[in-house]
Amino acid sequence: MPIAPEAPSAPKPILAPARPLSPHLQVYRPQLTSVLSITHRATGVALAVGTLLLVWWLIAAATGPEAFAVVQSFMGSWLGLLLLLGWTASLFFHLSNGIRHLFWDAGLGFELKTTYRSGWAVVVATVVLTVLAWLWGLA
């Protein structure tokens, strides 16, 4: 029996095929692992911006006592102290989580249980190191 020819279909508009899209982050429930991952990036960007403070401090020290006094008084102001607190917390987070990443790069610690344990260890280390640094600094 001959196959009936199909009716010519109307020309389709040129549209992107309905392929599955990459994950929509906004429909995911935040998890420790994903929160730490994006925080690693955020703290990295913050630390990069924070290098401006380091450069300012060094150039002021190389310029003379007057320029240095300006930096010192800014760092001692509420805004300066707030920036330094954010900078130390970002540094300790990025440092701890960076060590976690280096273990992953070596192929270690990929078990789900281990990633959660190391993740909480990063959170605890960040808080403890930040508090210790400020207690020591303000002592």
The stretch near another protein (CB under 8 A) out of 4-12, 25-33, 90-98, 120-128 is: 90-98
Interface with another protein, residue 38, by CB under 8 A: no
Residue 131 in contact with another protein, rule: CB under 8 A: no
State how far the Cα of 100 lies from the Cα of 106, in Å rounded to an integer: 10
Q: How far apart are the first and last CA of the chain?
A: 96
Rounded to 10 degrees, the C-alpha dihedral 124/129/130/131 comes to: 90
Minimum gap (Å) between residue 12 Cβ and another protein: 27
Helix H segments across 28-111? 32-63, 65-76, 78-105
Cα–Cα distance, 84 to 130 (Å, whole number): 11
Q: Which of 32, 35, 58, 124 binds another protein (CB under 8 A)?
A: 58
The rounded distance, in Å, linking the Cα atoms of 39 and 46 is 10
52 binds another protein (CB under 8 A): yes
Q: Does 11 bind another protein (CB under 8 A)?
A: no
Stretch of 11-19, 20-28, 29-37, 49-57 contacting another protein, by CB under 8 A: 49-57
Residue 39 sits in the site that holds another protein (CB under 8 A): no
> Largest Cα–Cα distance in the chain?
100
**Alpha carbon 2 to its chain's center:** 65
Establish if 90 lies at the interface with another protein (CB under 8 A). Answer: no
Give the binding site for another protein (CB under 8 A): 41, 44-45, 47-48, 51-52, 54-55, 58-59, 61-62, 64-65, 68-69, 88, 91, 95, 98-99, 101-102, 105, 133, 136-138
